[in-house]
Amino acid sequence: MSYFELSEEHQQIKQEIHRLAQEKIKPRALEIDEEAKYPWDILKLVSEYGYIGANMPEEYGGAGLDLLSFCTIVEEIARVCASSSQVVVVQELGALPIIISGSHELKQRFLPDVASGKKVIAYALTEPGAGSDVKSLKTRAEKDGDSYILDGQKMFISNGGVADLYTVFAQTENGISAFVVEKDTPGFEVGKLEKKMGIKGSPTAQLFFENCRVPAENMIGDEGDGWMAAMKTFDKSRPTVAAQALGIAQGALDAALEYVQEREQFGKPIASFQGVQFMLADMATQVEAARGLVYRAAAKVNDLTATGKNPELTQASSMAKMFASDVAMKVTTDAVQLLGGYGYIQEYNVERMMRDAKITQIYEGTNQIQRLVVAKNLLGGK
């Protein structure tokens, strides 16, 4: 299989989630955006169909699908509702450090409930002074007998306030370490929910840890393993954000194509005007180019295994995330333009897609950081 083609199995998965998204999720998209609340019904829906744990190991209750399959699932959900795609994207993101670095015992304790959707998980890395500069984490975890005491603050945490489990990164004596923190742990508190421009159905919150005692058995891997777990997580999670951006762009193109063939001006559909046709041609080409990079990056995750960071995989993931999210912003903006005044109206969906697209250029590493990652790899790590 080339990196740019889907096998019959992948095509079947894509077709199945496409039907479900179009029939069950698309009708909820506008309401989810207006309510700005976590869509528990979508969690239930994707859990029932096995999509919530699609990329998690079968041994721990997941479907055991590869990342390319998972990316097609994310793409088709984001095509109709970016907030709903966050339900599966963040569930995978929170679970990845456990899958990558956790012990068998830790995986047995937590992954089955995450893979079934019984419990929601979040990924807590970003802090007020540590966004792109991950190594500047201030949250600390001090060893105290058979526990660690966490103190610090996190921000911009997706699923904050709705998650049952949080994968939390903190400085320890031997470097950055990661822990699973359960929501009812004394000393852990969810702060304010942020009011956002887009993906409003995905809650984003501050987290506070004050003398928060976490059992040592909840550490993911060994002390000091957190940095590598975070970096290897990004290699696998960035293609899913790229798939999300791809889906948003495809959804905007879908809406634009439908509109320009129905809307008439000067006695004929506006699709007949050359200026409109040129815009559509550019949009479609950009979406297809993004799809190639996304599928290629996901396929590389499937094919490459490494004990540490793999530069080839890192570059492919960063390229896909950077390009697909830039395309999402460009295509959704053009879709709003093609719809004219209607494009600015909520019920026509493309203004929501434009708002949703912007965050894909920011989270999971800003696109400026992705360009630095790509350049560093091109220059041999210099």
Q: What angle do CA 360, 364, 370 make, to 5 degrees?
A: 85
Distance CA 13, CA 28 (A): 22
> Each residue of 19-50: pLDDT tens digit?
999 999 999 999 999 999 999 999 999 999 99
Domain spanning 226-378, CATH class: mainly alpha
Average confidence score pLDDT of the chain = 94
> Each residue of 309-359: pLDDT tens digit?
688 889 999 999 999 999 999 999 999 999 999 999 988 999 999 999 999
> Each residue of 236-260: pLDDT tens digit?
999 999 999 999 999 999 999 999 9
- Name the band, by pLDDT with cuts 50, 70 and 90, for residue 86: very high
Domain 121-218 has CATH 3.40.50.450: no
Domain ranges for the chain: 8-116, 121-218, 226-378
Q: What pLDDT is attached to residue 92?
A: 96
Decide if pLDDT at 131 tops 90. Answer: no
Determine how β-strand 140-144 pairs with β-strand 147-158.
antiparallel
Q: Which two tokens stand for residue 149?
A: 């005491």
Decide if pLDDT at 177 tops 60. Answer: yes
Distance CA 268, CA 266 (A): 6
Distance CA 95, CA 101 (A): 10
- Name the band, by pLDDT with cuts 50, 70 and 90, for residue 4: low
What type of residue sits at position 190?
V
Residue 346 DSSP class:
G
8 catalytic, yes or no? no
> Each residue of 278-319: pLDDT tens digit?
999 999 999 999 999 999 999 988 776 544 568 888 999 999
Q: What angle do CA 338, 31, 155 make, to 5 degrees?
A: 95
Q: What pLDDT is attached to residue 3?
A: 44
Fold of 8-116: Butyryl-Coa Dehydrogenase, subunit A; domain 1 (1.10.540)
Q: What pLDDT is attached to residue 264?
A: 87
> Each residue of 264-273: pLDDT tens digit?
899 999 999 9
